[in-house]
Amino acid sequence: MALYLLDYGAGNVQSLANSLSKLGHSFEWISSPEDFHKATSLIFPGVGAFQTAVENLTRKGLLEPLKEYIQSGKPYFGICIGMQVLFQSSTESPNFDGLGIIPSTVERFDDSDKTVPHMGWNSADVVQTSDVEPAFYYFVHSYCAKYSPLDKPEAASWAYTTTQYGGEIFISSISKGNIFGTQFHPEKSGAAGLALIDNWLRASDAAKSAKIPTADYLPSPPTLSLKPRDNLSKRIIACMDVRSDDEGNLVVTKGDQYDVREKVPSGSSMQVKTGGAVRNLGKPVTLASKYYAAGADEICLLNITSFRHSPLQDQPMLAVVRAAAECVFVPLTIGGGIKDTVDPDGTKRSALEVASEYFRAGADKVSIGSDAVYAAEKLLASGQNHGDGTSSIETIAYAYGRQAVVVSIDPRRVFVDASTYDGPHKGELVHGSPDSEIENDRGKSWWYACTVSGGRETRPISVCQLARAAEVLGAGEILVNSIDRDGTGLGFDLDLLNLVKRSVKVPVVASSGAGRKEHFSTVFEQTGVEAALAAGIFHRGEVDIGEVKEHLAHNDIKVRTHIA
Ligand code: 1PR
């Protein structure tokens, strides 16, 4: 079998390549129109925007050969945009035609009752009997083919599985003849996704003739009497702050309120102060692999000293990302230093180039911290409600899709006297209860200021201003840290998260302060965030990811529990 992968030049195709290597399948890349003739099986792992995919395929002269390949009857597997491009059009890019193989349109989710993009683990319902557990796969998309047998019978006839998100049911995979496609990302869906890819490859290998016997390798098609159920799960993310220790080795570290050095005795008194060695909690790839096996829904690696130099010069960090991507088959986010930089030899590197390097190494999303604050300040100063297209958020979202861009906020509380404060953040003041169990909250008032450079510099804009601006500029997700809660184990900052959650429509990830499994149920129940991230408790082995999920399931919070 000659398996080929189609890479149109944007999107993280490395994840699929890593999955195939893990499964022991060899493959080639389509590099010219002639390669379509050599291919006997083709996978198109499209990520990003519909327009970018169609434009790039057209520019490279690959669109027509792709259509001819599919029409020849040879096995085709389209992932995400690779499935959407089979449709006639998408409302995402009305001026660009798809391949028109499925005579229907891809449309945006209705965001009046839910956050968009639809991001996370949801079930693909191939329910044959009511006691069959559906498989969970990782989705990340804002546009979908709605499943409506009455209004859109043509599209519905292609539906292989359907999935519900909020009140909408959409086609989560299609199958007809030689064509198979998934809206979800099997290459990012852990063991269930790897098994699906493997089954498809084995079947297409076996199908030496033009037609693939789909029924032999995939679950039975869905019954049309669907039982609607939105199974989008809350995500648990394991985060590793990575930096060089004093010997120059990259280690996973963990700070208290962003101070990652060990505490040491201070002079003759019994007091301690920080300033010791960088805390070393393990090796990044070993821990990433451990958390994947334990059921983490996503893994996050933050290069926490990258604001000091160019990440493109940081070959050890890139090697860590590559190695982690080879053993982690859930989404991998890389943060730190995503901004326009200048190499020591004077070469200018755009934020897009930096991000592209991380995507090529195997990242699925990049997280932008400091640079997002500067971009938000610029947007606010312009008085416009759209960017000028030059910020890192915009350029990366344009090329890779907004789902690939996370904005990571590092807020710090600014305490004020509420009776006299008349500053610009008056409407966002939080008042701590006089009998709060947390000393730092008790009877105080504050607003949340954004910081840059790992919390070293406080800026005048608030978290709500940053979150809103980031969404306008094209961020697909907001990660909310808290310098006040980081490493304290006091629980997530619920006031902070509620403020951000009310400010944006995109998914919000809670971070900083998890100390017990109960903190996870509290944050989901009291703020509605889509995901919760923790570092210290996982690194120190105080709570296991499985225990957190068991606790959440016990409290009727939807989680992905079947990881194998
Ligand atoms: O500004 O784009 O270069 O990005 C820098 C990134 O590095 C930002 O995402 C910033 O949050 C992070 N960062 C910078 N300095 C530090 C530090 O600790 N000195 N880490 C740092 C931030 C916060 C979380 C942590 C959670 C959960 N660490 O990553 O994992 O607070 O911790 P917990 O569960 O133990 O409480 P740029």
Task: Please give the distance, rounded to the nearest whole angstrom, from the Cα atom of residue 454 to the centre of ligand 1.
Answer: 7
Same fold, 3-217 and 235-262+280-554: no
Instruction: From the candidates 35, 92, 168, 241, give the one annotated as an active-site residue.
Output: 241
Q: What is the pLDDT of residue 481?
A: 98
Verify whether residue 187 is a known catalytic residue. Answer: yes
Q: In the predicted model, is pLDDT for residue 558 greater than 90? A: yes
Mean pLDDT of 2-31: 89
Where does ligand 1 bind, in terms of residues with CB under 6 Å? 239, 241, 254-255, 258, 260, 302, 304, 306-307, 335-338, 367-371, 408, 410, 454, 481, 486-487, 511-514, 534-536
Which atom, in ligand 1's list, is nearest to the CA of 339? 2
**pLDDT-based confidence at residue 216 (cuts at 50, 70, 90):** very low
Q: What is the pLDDT of residue 228?
A: 58
User: Probe ligand 1: pick from 512, 523, 529, max atoms within 8 Å of CB?
Assistant: 512
Greater model confidence, 166 or 11: 166
135 forms bridges with which residues in the sheet?
124
Instruction: From the candidates 7, 125, 377, 410, give the one annotated as an active-site residue.
Output: 410
Token duo for residue 231: 């199974």
C-beta pairs of 159-162 under 8 Å, 24+ apart in sequence: 159/221, 159/222, 160/126, 160/214, 160/218, 160/221, 160/222, 161/124, 161/125, 161/126, 161/222, 162/124, 162/125, 162/222, 162/226
Task: Please give the distance, rounded to the nearest whole angstrom, from the Cα atom of residue 302 to the centre of ligand 1.
Answer: 7
Token look-up 């009140």 returns 167
Q: In the predicted model, is pLDDT for residue 369 greater than 80? A: yes
User: Probe ligand 1: pick from 302, 339, 450, max atoms within 8 Å of CB?
Assistant: 302
Measure the CA–CA gap between 560 and 285, rounded to whole angstroms: 23
**pLDDT-based confidence at residue 210 (cuts at 50, 70, 90):** very low
Q: What is the pLDDT of residue 215?
A: 43
Measure the CA–CA gap between 510 and 350, rounded to whole angstroms: 29
Mean pLDDT of 207-217: 45
Strands 159-165 and 508-511: unpaired
Token duo for residue 422: 């008349």
Q: Ligand 1 atom 5: the closest Cα is on which residue?
A: 336
Token look-up 């493959």 returns 27
Q: What is the pLDDT of residue 212?
A: 41
Verify whether residue 144 is a known catalytic residue. Answer: no
Question: Could you give the C-alpha distances from 77 to 2, 19, 96, 198, 544, in angstroms and in order?
Answer: 14, 15, 22, 12, 36
Instruction: From the candidates 7, 80, 168, 377, give the one annotated as an active-site residue.
Output: 80
Mean pLDDT of 289-308: 89
Task: Please give the distance, rounded to the nearest whole angstrom, from the Cα atom of residue 444 to the centre of ligand 1.
Answer: 25
Mean pLDDT of the chain: 89
Task: Please give the distance, rounded to the nearest whole angstrom, from the Cα atom of residue 305 to the centre of ligand 1.
Answer: 10
Give percent of the chain with pLDDT exceeding 70.
Answer: 90
Greater model confidence, 13 or 466: 466
If phi over 0 gives left and psi between -120 and 50 gives alpha, with beta otherwise, what is residue 267? left
- Residue 167 near residue 148 (C-beta atoms within 8 A): no
Token look-up 């990782």 returns 138
Q: What is the pLDDT of residue 305?
A: 76
**pLDDT-based confidence at residue 213 (cuts at 50, 70, 90):** very low
Q: What is the pLDDT of residue 49?
A: 78
Verify whether residue 371 is a known catalytic residue. Answer: no
pLDDT tens per residue across span 400-419 = 888 899 999 999 999 999 99
Which atom, in ligand 1's list, is nearest to the CA of 453? 1
Q: What is the pLDDT of residue 95?
A: 85
Question: Could you give the C-alpha distances from 232 to 112, 115, 137, 381, in angstroms and in order?
Answer: 17, 11, 10, 38
Task: Please give the distance, rounded to the nearest whole angstrom, from the Cα atom of residue 240 to the centre of ligand 1.
Answer: 9
Which of 454, 403, 411, 410 is closest to 242 using CA atoms?
Answer: 454
Token duo for residue 492: 């997530």
- Residue 203 near residue 526 (C-beta atoms within 8 A): no
Which range has the worst mean pLDDT, 16-30, 71-85, 309-323, 378-392?
309-323
Q: In the predicted model, is pLDDT for residue 132 greater than 60? A: no
Fold assignment, 235-262+280-554: TIM Barrel (3.20.20)
**pLDDT-based confidence at residue 217 (cuts at 50, 70, 90):** very low
The pTM of the full predicted model, rounded to 2 decimals, is 0.91
424: preceding bond cis by omega (within 30 degrees): no
Q: Taking the domain 3-217, which CATH number applies?
A: 3.40.50.880
Mean pLDDT of 110-132: 76
Measure the CA–CA gap between 147 and 107, rounded to whole angstroms: 11
Verify whether residue 241 is a known catalytic residue. Answer: yes
Please indicate if the annotation marks 337 as binding a ligand. yes
User: Probe ligand 1: pick from 408, 453, 497, 533, max atoms within 8 Å of CB?
Assistant: 408
Mean pLDDT of 65-82: 95
Instruction: From the candidates 107, 187, 198, 477, give the one annotated as an active-site residue.
Output: 187
Query: Any idea where the domains of the chain sit in the sequence?
Result: 3-217, 235-262+280-554
Mean pLDDT of 222-227: 46
Verify whether residue 410 is a known catalytic residue. Answer: yes
Burial per residue of 196-225, b for 16 or more beta-carbon CB atoms within 10 angstroms, e otherwise? bbbebbebbeebeeeebebeebbbeebeee
Q: What is the pLDDT of residue 11?
A: 63
**pLDDT-based confidence at residue 227 (cuts at 50, 70, 90):** low
Token look-up 């690779």 returns 82
**pLDDT-based confidence at residue 270 (cuts at 50, 70, 90):** low
**pLDDT-based confidence at residue 96 (cuts at 50, 70, 90):** confident
Q: In the predicted model, is pLDDT for residue 211 greater than 80? A: no
